[in-house]
Amino acid sequence: MSSNKIAVVTGSNKGIGYAIVKGLCEKFNGVVYLTARDVGRGEAAVNKLKELGFNPLFHQLDVTDQSSVDKFKEYIKSKHEGIDILVNNAAIAFKNNATEPFGQQAEETIKVNYFATLRVSEALFPLLRNNAKVVNISSSSGHLSRIPSEDLRAKLGDSTLTIPDLNKLMEKFVKDAKDDKAYSEGWGRSAYVVSKVGVSALTFAQQRLFDNEQPNRNIAVNVVHPGYVVTDMTSQTGHLTTEEGAKAPLYLALEADFKGKYVWYDSQIVDWYGTTPSQY
């Protein structure tokens, strides 16, 4: 049984997730798990990091597959007993020129970005050790102001919102999108925005649960906009490198001493209910 500190990053064979793994290998005194849905890509990423002198471990993890998540949970539980850092990074985004019907885009995006993040959290949160840190990767798109409807903003921003009620809101968006009513119902025209606002709202609900748990493990959950980064998700159009995009997530994983906050790529806390900073 390993007594090392353990860090896990989902969806980390490329992009910001890969850069977060690299940064943790540099700065975290413990074992770092690079996880990916595709074994070949994940192992290739690990080998690339080993060539740079780092030593992350790989484990297959498909965040949309309950059996994959359960297998990973049991592996970590049996080998290490606990986790000290969890970075929920895995996500998708349809391109602006995507031809899939909006209802399909909504269903897939919410399934991966919101419900899979929730699935991993529910599986791994029982393994979090005292003083563990959870970092949920969101976006500037995850700011509450991106939802057009005042009524929906009030519901999503409710300080007593429960996760089951948040789930219902995410499910309603998918249904509205399939019924061609997403815009008229006040969700806007971006499934990615709704998914990331959902991740932000989920973060705050998770922190409330941790704050009230007994015995209290002093766990911090924060959500971060890593910046507009040059990745496949942005079609390589960002203005930050992946290493720059990893800075704020790494700050939250290794240094920050606050809980339940929405954090900008410069590591500054941003009012989720107010206006977004002008520079994305």
Q: Are 139 and 106 in contact (CB under 8 A)?
A: no
Q: H/E/C letters for each residue in the chain?
A: CCCCCEEEECCCCCHHHHHHHHHHHHHCCCEEEEEECCHHHHHHHHHHHHHCCCCCEEEECCCCCHHHHHHHHHHHHHHCCCEEEEEECCCCCCCCCCCCCHHHHHHHHHHHHHHHHHHHHHHHHHHEEEEEEEEEECCHHHCHHHCCCHHHHHHHCCCCCCHHHHHHHHHHHHHHHHCCCCCCCCCCCCHHHHHHHHHHHHHHHHHHHHHHCCCCCCCEEEEECCCCECCCCCCCCCCECHHHHCHHHHHHHHCCCCCCCEECCCCCEECCCCCCCCCC
CA distance 136 to 98: 26
* Active site (catalytic) residues: 192
Angle ∠(26,30,34) on CA atoms, nearest 5: 70
